[in-house]
Structure 1
């Protein structure tokens, strides 16, 4: 294939990312990921920041993971540090898929506690993947301050992130189990239950934890 043909194909693929139809954008992202080229990286990252369709965003992330991390990670880190909410969320999501520990430098406590739910959730998922050895307890301490936040889906995301860290989360959970907020206590208890018994459903763990809290119980006591 000549250079001029490759250039034409690249232009068409990048134009496809901006098409009005999600199916066309999806095919364009698939084509780019199938034939990675560093010229695509900027366009993929830019599209992630504004793409409204979930399936297309997932394909954009996949396409980025097909390129060299040495090229994609710096671009994604810039998005995390200076982009809007969707740009940051999608960049963090992609970084969690790449798993490059250079991403850790951008995952600050402020990001982990971001007011935007999607940004925070993406930061949690990325953080537990790229956290350096030995820094897991500190990460667990920050994440535990979010216990009780949001609706059920948000709480499940946090529990899953914490459980990924393993037993190091227990000191932070014990502190949360004595929090003045009953919702925080229940979420901490449910997370501890899931850590001990991964087969327990989150809904069951939460309802059981709420019952224990309502009865004034402590971990291991059911009234």
Structure 2
């Protein structure tokens, strides 16, 4: 069979067939009387083998080794092809993500595109200073797509950079909340914590609703973060979590401050005081926990808290009694 016929039947161009021959992949041994190459059925089978191996991503050199080395073991090469393919997919996925983010920013011209690319690169820099400046610039200059900000915020370990990223997300409103909500479901504890912290800094109703849901989250750190944020927003649902934080000495000073904020509502003040008193009456708490609960009553206004402190000034635990007595003196002096 002549080269033109082979090209038509195999789908491989005559130019490529000549290239295969120049590399020694196919060696048609016969020639016609006119000197044209004549391919045997074995040659044609080899061409199909070459095309099959090329479809797997093998280079022509690797194809040659595979076909001509009698001791060739395909497993190692296939494993290598799998690794290379995964790397290529990862690279292509990263490129696609970058392009989508640039498109989402709706650049007006190439200058905007270049600025966005520069900011995205800076967000991934090894320099914490560059990452922080990029986070701040994402609001003040060309907006960086919120997806990139969320990804950076959920992976950022440096506290200063993380703060700048949370601030940038807060400026974007509720756009990033769905992605941050996904972060709360991450299998990685640090990611869940960062997601909760970022949501806590977004001051709108949708963020508040997410934080209320987070009060029942399986992750204790997420629950505590939500409790502190909701307390500052005046949401009564946070009270049980905040009281537990005082008992467990987990950011107890911040929890007490949040309870004080909530207690500006007279109805809530009595509810908070009642809950603190109930915890104090629970006999299993250690002396240090009872003392912290007593201290928390200091900034809770109302008759319920005052009566509780009066009773506690005669408590069997001397440290609790002295703390209550001191607080009562301060309250009476006001």
Q: Does TM, normalized by the shorter one, top 0.5? A: yes
Cα displacement (A) at 1:24: 0.8
Match 2:240 to one of 130, 141, 163: 141
Cα distance in 2 for residues equivalent to 1:221 and 1:130: 31
Unaligned runs of 5+ in 2: 1-106, 264-268, 302-311, 327-334
Are the equivalent residues in 2 in contact too, given 1:163–1:169 (CA < 8 A)? no
2:280 equivalent in structure 1: 177
Do residues 79 (structure 1) and 178 (structure 2) align? no
Match 1:100 to one of 200, 204, 207: 204
Cα displacement (A) at 1:183: 3.0
Equivalent residue pairs, number = 198
Question: What are the superposed Cα offsets for residues 107-161 of structure 1, whole Å, 9 maximum, x if unpaired?
Answer: 33333x8344xx34422222224565xxx1x43134323332146xx21122122
1:18/1:178 Cα in 2 relative to 1: closer, same or farther (>3 Å)?
A: same
Cα displacement (A) at 1:67: 1.1
1:108/1:122 Cα in 2 relative to 1: closer, same or farther (>3 Å)?
A: closer
Do residues 161 (structure 1) and 258 (structure 2) align? yes
Cα distance in 1 for residues equivalent to 2:248 and 2:316: 17
Question: What are the superposed Cα offsets for residues 27-67 of structure 1, whole Å, 9 maximum, x if unpaired?
Answer: 11111021363x52111111112212111011001111121
Residue 321 of structure 2 aligns to a residue whose secondary structure is coil
Q: Report the TM-score, using the length of structure 2 for normalisation.
A: 0.52
Q: Report the TM-score, using the length of structure 1 for normalisation.
A: 0.74
Cα displacement (A) at 1:73: 2.1
Are the equivalent residues in 1 in contact too, given 2:214–2:223 (CA < 8 A)? no
2:76 equivalent in structure 1: none
Cα distance in 2 for residues equivalent to 1:31 and 1:50: 19
1:213/1:61 Cα in 2 relative to 1: closer, same or farther (>3 Å)?
A: farther
Unaligned runs of 5+ in 1: 197-208
What stretches of structure 1 move > 4 A for 4+ residues in a row? 129-132, 218-222
Cα displacement (A) at 1:194: 3.3
2:115 equivalent in structure 1: 9
2:229 equivalent in structure 1: 126
The structure whose Rg is larger is 2
Q: Please give the root-mean-square deviation of Cα atoms over the aligned residues, in Å.
A: 2.9
Select between 165-174 and 90-99 the one with higher mean Cα deviation: 90-99
